[in-house]
Amino acid sequence: MSASIQDKDELVIGGHKFTSRFILGSGKYSYDLIDSAINNAKAQIITMALRQNTTGSENILNFIPENITILPNTSGSITAEEAIRTARIARELSGSNFIKVEVVPDKKYLMPDNHETLKATAILAKEGFIVMPYILPDLNAARHLVDAGAATIMPLAAPIGTNKGLSTKDLIQILVDEIDVPVIVDAGIGRPSQAAEAMEMGVSAVMANTSMATAGNIPLMAEAFKLAIEAGRKAYLAKPGRIIEHGAVASSPLAGVSTAK
């Protein structure tokens, strides 16, 4: 990939441009994690759950520099109405028009409700929010969300916090191939190698939290994610083409070479 192509390769969400394709998710927060995400992983977007900012003795916003984009989420919402109310409060607290819509009524597997997510997205987009919905990867749902004004689609790779990687890889690939807004893999990424694989598929960015927050050396793991995401993106831009998964193809030409035994 030439330097000129790399320099122009920006992530654009709702008209805002970013050079980093790593997003720090919410859930397990510490000063070390946030500092490492910014300085080692080079994150420019950090997710904030409203409940994390309104409970406890410390305000998470105090740890986040002004040049970092705050992405509030509606974590804890089980209906569209709750998500909409949470989004409005979050905008007042953070000053950010970005919102990650999470509607998760299922408390056992933490699976998002695509139908309720669509309802919330349609209303919030009309109110000027830059809506980034978290969904089960489904092409029809994704298309409806884009039509409703979603700025991105954020399919889960695996259930939240499981670190199982790209369990839904084939479904995510369909979204990458068919959806015109950025597809950002969210939830389930447990290793930098999994992040690299997702980026090679053509996803626009990767969100992670647990795998970094629970690392023995958080700064080193943050840097590993940065390098993996950059490598995966470069591999995608190099356009090697789809690998044929059946048969065998010689890596060197066989023309003129005797195949007699």
Q: Residue 48: what pLDDT? A: 85
* CATH class of domain segment(s) 3-237: alpha beta
pLDDT at 142 over 80: yes
Residue closest to 229 by CA, chosen among 193, 185, 196, 189: 196
Confidence bin at 154 (pLDDT 50/70/90): very high
Q: Model pTM? A: 0.85
Given a contact cutoff of 8 angstroms between Cβ atoms, the answer to whether 74 and 82 are in contact is: yes
Residue closest to 223 by CA, chosen among 182, 185, 195: 195
Q: List the catalytic residues.
A: 100
Segment 224-238 shows an average pLDDT of: 95
pLDDT tens for 3-54 read: 444 557 899 999 999 999 999 886 666 778 888 888 899 999 998 887 654 4
Q: Where are the alpha helices (DSSP H) in 2-63?
A: 3-7, 31-39, 50-54
pLDDT at 260 over 80: no
Return the higher-pLDDT residue of 85 and 165: 85
Residue closest to 114 by CA, chosen among 75, 154, 151, 84: 154
